[in-house]
Amino acid sequence: MVRKIIDLTMPLKTGSPVFPAYPIPIVHTWVNVKEHGFYANLLLLVEHTGTHVDSPAHFIADGKTIDELPLEKFICRGVVVDASMKGEKEEIKREDVENALKNLGVSVGPGWIVLFYTGYDELAGRPEWFNHPGLGEEASKYLVQLGVSAVGIDAPSIDQPPFPAHKTLLPNDIVVYENLTNLKMLLGVRGFKFIGLPLKIVKGSASPVRAIAIVEE
Ligand SMILES: [Zn+2]
């Protein structure tokens, strides 16, 4: 059995693109080996910078914060729904999810993450980046019904305003990964292992993660 690890994480650096509401991240050299004898950077960034996971508190007053969620939420079996044929800002519907799962022959539930491949990670930093397809309300309700642990997308947000997916998934403690990358490499792979552990930010609304998929062939 061959074990392959796929990095699903965007690079984090000064100027990494972020949602317009947020400041651009800064990775600033605080000390360096030549002058100080050791090297360290200062990070100035919003929790939702680069590849990250949203906690319920991001949209829900009194919702669970990132430090309050069980680690089981962040270690899942995964499957990718191909949404790359969707147009600009087009809704990803319940039937899209149902058909994709049927074609893959998987039934998902607790302990699973459903990821959406749009290809919009390739447009990061361009104005068109924000025209990504978004998960709709019916599809989100369906995922709640299935009882999945997490959902993710390779775009700056899981949905378009007025944010039906955030408002449906987060109240049900389904965590949301955004700005994933390399999902194309997982198309057709059933039940790979997904790991995306957040920092233990006390009262955090989200956290940057190093997201990976482990594929066994
Ligand atoms: Zn977020």
CA of 199 to the centre of ligand 1 (A): 14
pTM above 0.95, yes or no: yes
Q: How many CB atoms lie within 10 A of CB 21?
A: 7
CA of 109 to the centre of ligand 1 (A): 23
**Would strands 3-7 and 206-216 be described as parallel, antiparallel, or unpaired?**
antiparallel
Rounded Cα–Cα distance for residues 25 and 2 (Å): 37
Cβ density class 140-165: b for 16+ within 10 Å, e for less: bbbbbebebbbbbbbbbbbbbeebbb
pLDDT in tens, 56-114: 999 999 999 999 999 999 999 999 999 999 999 999 999 999 999 999 999 999 999 99
CA of 7 to the centre of ligand 1 (A): 19
Percent of the chain with pLDDT over 90: 98
Place of tokens 């607790």: 110
CA of 184 to the centre of ligand 1 (A): 21
Rounded Cα–Cα distance for residues 177 and 69 (Å): 14
CA of 210 to the centre of ligand 1 (A): 14
Q: Is the pLDDT of residue 168 over 90?
A: yes
Q: Hey, what's the torsion of the CAs at 128, 196, 205, 60, to 10 degrees?
A: 90
Q: Residue range 108-136: average pLDDT?
A: 98
CA of 124 to the centre of ligand 1 (A): 15
Query: Six-digit token pair at 53?
Result: 């996971």
CB-based neighbours (< 5 A) of ligand 1, an ion: 48, 54, 178, 206
CA of 46 to the centre of ligand 1 (A): 9
Q: Which fold has domain 46-216?
A: Glucose Oxidase; domain 1 (3.50.30)
**Would strands 75-82 and 112-117 be described as parallel, antiparallel, or unpaired?**
parallel
- Where are the domains positioned within the chain? 46-216
Q: Is the pLDDT of residue 1 over 90?
A: no
CA of 31 to the centre of ligand 1 (A): 30
CA of 168 to the centre of ligand 1 (A): 14
CA of 58 to the centre of ligand 1 (A): 7
Query: What pLDDT does 56 receive?
Result: 98
32 contact partners, CB below 8 Å, separation of at least 6: 39
CB 132 within 8 A of CB 178: no
Q: Is the pLDDT of residue 194 over 90?
A: yes
CA of 3 to the centre of ligand 1 (A): 30
